[in-house]
Amino acid sequence: MKRIITLDGGAATGKSTAMLRLSRTLGWHGISTGHVYRAATVLAMAEDITPEQAPERLVARLQEGGLSYNQATHSYFLSRPGLGARPLPVEVLTSPEVSAKTPSYSRVPEVRAALLDFQRGLYRDPGLVADGRDCGTVVFPEAPLKIWLEVDGVEAARRLNRGQGVPFEQAYVDVLERNRLDRNRGTSPMAAAADAIVVDTTRLTADEVFAVVLELARRRGLASRVGE
């Protein structure tokens, strides 16, 4: 059995922070699947591939190895003909420009199919913690532990305001709209898996969220050696 823990949920639920801490504590690999789509968007932007061209051109580049990921350092790399591989800093992946353009590419069914294979290929022993919006339902439905994190829209906006400097009003509107679109997209809509454990992080600190997910991992026998 593959040892996989999925952490899904909408914007600013704390899933990426929890993924990093949990994967390091367990000594497992980790992946934020939302960053996979952001990295693919950067690749498209770098090669002037429009969303309309993505089903053919972007998919072809992904299949050629245009995007790679180092699990040990949680780093993405773009490989372009004649230019070799170059790392993608987190600052680039999370920039306002990339954030604005990513939905146009991530909702293309052919791109999602290509990146689904990419994501599933990232599993390595001793285990994998994956966060995103469809990890438990689509990417790793076989995961023995699926956790769904949720947060009140007001608190999500506050977190984006504090962490990224996004004006509160804009952040609130953006969070609600992005979550609405992801819940209603035709391919791999955002949803909690039927067997996911729901954790409301609205009133929890990052430390408290981590403590909750670590305890859930322990109860499933996936973290029995931690702290021993």
Mean pLDDT is lowest, of 34-43, 68-77, 88-97, 135-144, for 68-77
Question: What pLDDT is recorded for position 215?
Answer: 97
Mean pLDDT is lowest, of 49-63, 79-93, 126-140, 202-216, for 79-93
- The amino acid occupying position 190 is M
Q: What is the 3-state secondary structure (H, E, C) of the chain?
A: CCCEEEEEECCCCCHHHHHHHHHHHHCCEEEEHHHHHHHHHHHHHHCCCCCCCHHHHHHHHHHCCCEEEECCCCEEEEEECCCEEEEECHHHHCCHHHHHHHHHHHCCHHHHHHHHHHHHCCCCCCCEEEEECCHHHHHCCCCCEEEEEECCHHHHHHHHHHHHCCCHHHHHHHHHHHHHHHHHCCCCCCCCCCCCEEEECCCCCHHHHHHHHHHHHHHCCCCCCCCC
Question: What pLDDT is recorded for position 28?
Answer: 94
- Would you tell me which CATH number, out of the four given (3.30.465.10, 3.40.50.300, 3.90.550.10, 3.40.50.150), belongs to the domain 1-28+126-219? 3.40.50.300
Question: What pLDDT is recorded for position 71?
Answer: 77
What is the rounded CA–CA span in Å between residue 105 and residue 55? 9
Domain ranges of the chain: 1-28+126-219, 33-125
Question: What pLDDT is recorded for position 203?
Answer: 97
Question: What pLDDT is recorded for position 226?
Answer: 53
Question: What pLDDT is recorded for position 225?
Answer: 54
Question: What pLDDT is recorded for position 62?
Answer: 96
What is the band of 172 on the pLDDT scale with cuts at 50, 70, 90? very high
Q: Considering only residues 193 and 75, tell me which one the structure prediction assigns the higher pLDDT.
A: 193
Average pLDDT of the segment spanning 152-166: 90
Average pLDDT over the chain, rounded to an integer: 93
Q: pTM for the whole thing?
A: 0.91
Question: What pLDDT is recorded for position 224?
Answer: 66
Q: How does pLDDT run across 125-135, given as a tens digit for each residue?
A: 999 999 999 99
Average pLDDT of the segment spanning 7-20: 95
The pLDDT of residue 228 is above 50 = no
Q: How does pLDDT run across 18-73, given as a tens digit for each residue?
A: 999 999 999 999 999 999 999 999 999 999 999 999 999 999 999 999 999 987 77
* 164 and 94 Cβ atoms separated by less than 8 Å: yes
